């Protein structure tokens, strides 16, 4: 008998009393590789990607995985082999996707603070385009391109001032955001880009936020972007592609985000109605491809009763799972071995010396020291934001493919952490 425990993670199931990821019992992984441990389902990633591919069937469209969500080389290989392009935001991410087998022409370079060195390296790699986020960046990029004897392909990221109805920290399309060029300034910025000798205008980009669970913000942003496309092309600046960013949410708890194919049926219908259905489309999903594919396995260290709270202290911490501390984010926490014992309400916390080091508040768990737990929906913005705070080594990572397990990152030890440090003479 099996039962899926999270609507967004069909490859994570209890079989009898044991929790499995695909065909691998997670308790076996924890015993073999230790904890904390991140485990990812290849089938879950490809299933999430397939929803986008169904939505774009018959269209001139390119899915570019936003690797800031999870930049493990093996994860990048999975998407590269499945035909994805990549959305990067740093020179380091550029080197990662190239190391994973991507071609330069499959890469879009986003981000508000690109350095001259990063621009030069991206031009050498022959990337598809830069998503430029300010007019000063246009000037610098044009100069760098001229120094290298090339013309940089550019798409301007436009800020449509649309509320994505998500957490303020991951809302990127409002007037107060550091991202993008203001909607009312976009036409003038495009005219400036078209006049600069080192640039070649190829598209327009929009990204309004992350963990979006409703369709209406996408439709509002699409209309505002298409209004701009009409105005820009009327000014004599043709745009080859429309890049609509990413941001589609996943299920952490009780969210009900639209399926990727259903979302794009709505958006494509609007594009068709406005006469843009044949335009090349690009999108940059991240979390929605990997978030529900991953779990973090952790061991219960201590149960600490208190006057106001009971604490379940685990060996995973905010350096491994930063989202709760950063965003007060919710992750389901479940046992690797189901039990009928009576649950107790705990705050689940880590060993890091910070009051903000909590993973879940007021969770009902029947736990004992030595028990193993899984923190769900941990495939995105966990290991990619992990740190060595408190001189804690970053966790190991494994990729599950059916009954096969690949170790894709070894656990860090102390020597790994201090390798680049120097003692005083």
- Show the beta-strand stretches assigned E in 115-261: 129-132, 152-159, 181-182, 199-205, 241-243
118 is in an annotated binding site: no
Phi, psi dihedral angles at 41 (to 5 degrees): -95, 120
The vertex-78 CA angle with 67 and 377, nearest 5°, equals 60
Distances (CA, A) of 5 to 9, 308, 365: 8, 30, 15
247 is in an annotated binding site: yes
Nearest to 78 by CA among 123, 111, 38, 47: 47
- The residue whose two tokens read 């978030």 is 291
- The residue whose two tokens read 């000037």 is 139
136 is in an annotated binding site: no
Cα 327 from Cα 93, distance rounded (Å)? 24
Helix (H) or strand (E) holding 62, with range, is strand 61-66
Q: Do the Cβ atoms of 388 and 49 come closer than 8 Å?
A: no
157 is in an annotated binding site: no
The vertex-148 CA angle with 145 and 149, nearest 5°, equals 85
- The residue whose two tokens read 């409703």 is 214
Task: Cite the DSSP H helix spans in 285-423.
Answer: 287-290, 323-327, 414-418
Cα 19 from Cα 117, distance rounded (Å)? 47
| Burial grade of 275 (CB within 10 A; 0-12, 13-18, 19 or more) | exposed
Active-site annotation holds for 84: no
52 is in an annotated binding site: no
Question: 333: which residues sit within 8 A by CB, 6+ positions away?
Answer: 348, 359, 360, 363, 365, 373, 374, 375, 376
393 is in an annotated binding site: no
Choice among 84, 206, 353, 382 that is catalytic: 353
Cα 390 from Cα 286, distance rounded (Å)? 29
Q: Which amino acids are annotated as binding site, given as ranges?
A: 247, 284-287, 323, 327, 354, 381
What amino acid positions are annotated as catalytic residues? 353
Q: Which amino acids are annotated as binding site for pyridoxal 5'-phosphate, given as ranges?
A: 247, 284-287, 381
């Amino acid at each position: 008998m099996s039962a899926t425990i999270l609507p967004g993670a069909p490859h994570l199931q209890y079989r009898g009393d044991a929790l499995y990821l695909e065909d691998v019992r997670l308790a076996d992984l924890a015993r073999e590789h230790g904890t904390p441990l991140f485990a990812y389902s290849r089938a879950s990633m490809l299933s999430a990607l397939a929803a986008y591919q169904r939505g774009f069937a018959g269209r001139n469209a390119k899915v570019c995985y936003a690797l800031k969500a999870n930049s493990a080389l093996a994860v990048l290989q999975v998407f590269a082999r499945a035909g994805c392009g990549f959305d990067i935001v740093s020179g380091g991410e550029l080197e990662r996707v190239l190391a994973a087998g991507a071609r330069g022409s499959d890469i879009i370079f986003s981000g508000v603070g690109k350095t001259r060195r990063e621009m030069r390296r991206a031009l050498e790699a022959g990337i598809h385009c830069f998503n430029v986020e300010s007019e000063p960046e246009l000037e610098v990029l044009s100069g760098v391109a001229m120094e290298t004897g090339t013309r940089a392909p550019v798409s301007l990221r436009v800020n449509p001032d649309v509320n994505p109805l998500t957490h303020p920290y991951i809302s990127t399309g409002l007037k107060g955001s550091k991202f993008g060029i203001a909607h009312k300034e976009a036409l003038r910025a495009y005219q400036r880009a078209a006049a600069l000798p080192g640039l070649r205008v190829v598209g327009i980009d929009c990204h309004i936020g992350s963990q979006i669970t409703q369709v209406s913000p996408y439709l509002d942003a699409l209309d505002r972007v298409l209004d701009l496309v009409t105005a820009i092309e009327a000014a004599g600046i043709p745009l080859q592609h429309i890049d609509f960013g990413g941001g589609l949410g996943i299920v952490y708890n009780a969210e009900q985000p639209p399926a990727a194919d259903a979302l794009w049926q709505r958006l494509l219908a609007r594009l068709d109605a406005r006469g843009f259905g044949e335009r090349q489309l690009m999108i940059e999903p991240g979390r929605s491809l990997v978030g529900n594919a991953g779990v973090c396995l952790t061991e219960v260290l201590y149960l600490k009763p208190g006057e106001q709270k009971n604490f379940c202290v685990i060996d995973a911490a905010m350096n491994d799972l930063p989202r709760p501390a950063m965003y007060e984010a919710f992750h389901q926490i479940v046992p690797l071995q189901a039990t009928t014992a009576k649950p107790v309400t705990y705050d689940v916390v880590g060993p890091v010396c910070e009051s903000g080091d909590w993973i879940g508040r007021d969770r009902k768990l029947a736990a004992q020291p030595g028990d193993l737990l899984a923190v769900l929906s941990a495939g995105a913005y966990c290991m990619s934001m992990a740190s060595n705070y408190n001189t804690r080594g970053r966790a190991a990572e494994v990729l599950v493919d059916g009954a096969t397990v690949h170790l894709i990152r070894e656990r860090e030890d102390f020597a790994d952490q201090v390798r680049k440090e120097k003692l005083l003479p």
